[in-house]
Amino acid sequence: MLATKKYQFWFCTGSQDLYGDECLAHVAEHSRIIVEELNKSGNLPFEVVLKPTLITNELIRRTFNEANMDETCAGVITWMHTFSPAKSWILGLQEYRKPLLHLHTQFNREIPYDTIDMDFMNENQSAHGDREYGHIFSRLRMERKVVAGYWADEAVQKEIASWMRTAVGVIESSHIRVMRVADNMRNVAVTEGDKVEAQIQFGWEVDAYPVNEIAEAVAAVSQSDVNALTDEYYATYQILTEGRDAAEFRRHVEVQAAIEIGFERFLEEKNYQAIVTHFGDLGALKQLPGLAIQRLMQKGYGFGAEGDWKTAAMVRLMKIMTGGMKDAKGTSFMEDYTYNLVPGKEGILQAHMLEVCPTIADGPISIKVQPLSMGDREDPARLVFTAKEGPAIATSLVDLGNRFRLIINNVDCKKTEKPMPKLPVATAFWTPQPNLKTGTEAWILAGGAHHTAFSYDLTAEQMGDWADAMGIEAVYIDQDTTIRQLKNELRWNSVAYRK
Ligand code: MN
């Protein structure tokens, strides 16, 4: 489910014909070596493909249009080896519609002090050419990522890798389709939003289905399929019956197995990659989807509770952006619940009624069947665990009425001081940066929701770059945040992003 296309990135070196064929041969050779080394480095999640050196207006324009048309191309990496007059790039760039990385680098690391002459200088002048090139982007007011540094350095390669994931998020955003099987929870403001504007801005398709249509798909699942998946659950997770009758317990788990299979078939058949539910609108479903939704999230589906389609789409987006990542720590739907306000131990207990993705789990995962305490259905089965430690980001996309804002908070995940044996849900615990007081004040001033799309595997920079590419405001809350500065930023942004 999570698998995305085998995207490629084109590597386009800029030059001109002023310096003669020998120089251009060197430019092409150097570019070939860089591309080869980048691909060999093991640091990039996607392949880089070398394109012929761009030296004329016509070739530049044609190459960018080919990149637009090529379905496997997720972006173009450009670099000016020599000087390349930037008027040559105007039409090509104006017609280009995908992410672009301006890699500001140089083939040689060191100035060859003993041998350097004017020929060498003319051939190796990205310090000069990349400034001319960068200028035209600023003049055209075009979004692009600029990464400066030596191409063979691991740190630079990792920056390229990080941008590639953002680029794939930009490209894949318009393939996200969210299925709503219930409307937003009555009277709740922050989970609402303009679905037409979301499609215009992000390319998301957000459609509603009567809950009983998907409930019919659940009812159609055969008992033998339910048994097989329930057996898999019992083999994979710890079973904590906590005094319940074992057969009765299993019957509750089977309901979730049927929901997982039925939902997945329905989503696949109708081509949706994210789903929302609502505990108050379950139609013929016997339980609120809990374990079932947790498993679907693990497979790569986006999810939002209480009809929260914006967060569902963001969870899907962030799962795409982290796809195939080595040693990934996880990405989930999450909700701010309860504070610990003890000095020195401040933090927010994160959970949801049921629906936390097991990719973020640390240690064993258990199944429990407990009352929901909300709604009117039977006790749902759910996966219970605690989350990993370490730095992560929590994001909230809010609709301000005339535009969207993405709030990105760096958070530090920790273990709670003590276990919580009576709490029958999966949890995380984190302290927002710069600290609980300023972090929560900033979040509330920015209008951030109680629902978040959370990930250990993405950076604030990646999500902010995605927001830039989408043309929306990104608000960062991190170690550098002060309330005075944040309030000014929100004030200024309200003008900068006014529609
Ligand atoms: Mn909620």
Long-range Cβ contacts of 200-203 (<8 Å, 24+ apart): 201/404, 201/470, 201/471, 201/472, 202/173, 202/174, 202/176, 202/313, 202/470, 203/173, 203/174, 203/175, 203/176
What burial class does residue 371 get, using C-beta atoms within 10 Å of its C-beta: 0-12 exposed, 13-18 middle, 19+ buried? Answer: exposed
Q: Is residue 346 included in any domain, yes or no?
A: yes
Query: What's the pLDDT score for residue 19?
Result: 86
Q: Is residue 412 included in any domain, yes or no?
A: yes
Compute the distance from residue 372 Cα to the ligand 1 centre, in Å: 13
Q: Is residue 3 included in any domain, yes or no?
A: no
Same domain, 188 and 230: yes
Compute the distance from residue 190 Cα to the ligand 1 centre, in Å: 11
Same domain, 230 and 141: no
Compute the distance from residue 427 Cα to the ligand 1 centre, in Å: 14
- Nearest Cα residue to 304 out of 169, 458, 449: 449
Same domain, 370 and 242: yes
Compute the distance from residue 164 Cα to the ligand 1 centre, in Å: 32
* pLDDT (tens digit per residue) in 243-285: 999 999 999 999 999 999 999 999 999 999 999 999 999 999 9
Compute the distance from residue 245 Cα to the ligand 1 centre, in Å: 30
Q: Find out whether the peptide bond into 434 is cis, omega within 30 degrees of 0.
A: yes
Task: Give CA separation, 317 vs 27, 168, 182, 217, in Å.
Answer: 37, 9, 21, 26
Compute the distance from residue 302 Cα to the ligand 1 centre, in Å: 15
CATH of the domain at 14: 3.40.50.10940
Compute the distance from residue 270 Cα to the ligand 1 centre, in Å: 26
Same domain, 183 and 156: no
* Domain limit, last residue, from 154, 173, 192: 173
Same domain, 461 and 449: yes
* Environment of ion ligand 1 (residues, CB < 5 A): 305-306, 335
Same domain, 162 and 184: no
Long-range Cβ contacts of 335-343 (<8 Å, 24+ apart): 335/305, 335/450, 335/451, 335/452, 336/450, 336/452, 339/436, 340/416, 340/417, 340/429, 341/436
Query: What's the pLDDT score for residue 399?
Result: 98
* Domain count within the chain: 2
Compute the distance from residue 266 Cα to the ligand 1 centre, in Å: 24
3-class DSSP state for residue 427? Answer: strand
Q: Is residue 1 included in any domain, yes or no?
A: no
Tokens of residue 487, six digits: 């309030």
Same domain, 267 and 130: no
Compute the distance from residue 325 Cα to the ligand 1 centre, in Å: 28
Token pair 């600290």 is at which residue?
Answer: 435
* Residue 262 to residue 264: CA distance in whole angstroms: 6
Query: What's the pLDDT score for residue 1?
Result: 65
Contact 239, 367 (CB under 8 A): yes
Compute the distance from residue 291 Cα to the ligand 1 centre, in Å: 16
* Domain limit, last residue, from 111, 140, 173: 173
Same domain, 119 and 183: no
- Nearest Cα residue to 297 out of 251, 252, 334, 266: 334
Compute the distance from residue 340 Cα to the ligand 1 centre, in Å: 19
Compute the distance from residue 279 Cα to the ligand 1 centre, in Å: 10
Compute the distance from residue 348 Cα to the ligand 1 centre, in Å: 15
Compute the distance from residue 357 Cα to the ligand 1 centre, in Å: 14
Compute the distance from residue 451 Cα to the ligand 1 centre, in Å: 6
* Residue 56 to residue 258: CA distance in whole angstroms: 60
* pLDDT (tens digit per residue) in 133-149: 999 999 999 999 999 99
Give the total residue count for the chain: 499
* pLDDT (tens digit per residue) in 296-323: 999 999 999 999 999 999 999 999 999 9
- Quote the domain boundaries for residue 58: 8-173
Compute the distance from residue 333 Cα to the ligand 1 centre, in Å: 10
Compute the distance from residue 488 Cα to the ligand 1 centre, in Å: 30
Q: Is residue 265 included in any domain, yes or no?
A: yes
Compute the distance from residue 285 Cα to the ligand 1 centre, in Å: 19
Query: What's the pLDDT score for residue 140?
Result: 97
Same domain, 367 and 300: yes
Compute the distance from residue 310 Cα to the ligand 1 centre, in Å: 13
**Dihedrals φ, ψ of 6, to 5°?**
-80, 80
Same domain, 206 and 57: no
Compute the distance from residue 355 Cα to the ligand 1 centre, in Å: 9
Compute the distance from residue 452 Cα to the ligand 1 centre, in Å: 9
Residue stretches of the chain with pLDDT short of 70: 1-3
Largest CA distance in the chain: 86
* Domain limit, last residue, from 112, 141, 173: 173
Same domain, 31 and 157: yes
Compute the distance from residue 334 Cα to the ligand 1 centre, in Å: 8
Same domain, 481 and 449: yes
Query: What's the pLDDT score for residue 499?
Result: 72
Predicted TM-score of the model (pTM): 0.97
Compute the distance from residue 305 Cα to the ligand 1 centre, in Å: 5
Compute the distance from residue 405 Cα to the ligand 1 centre, in Å: 20
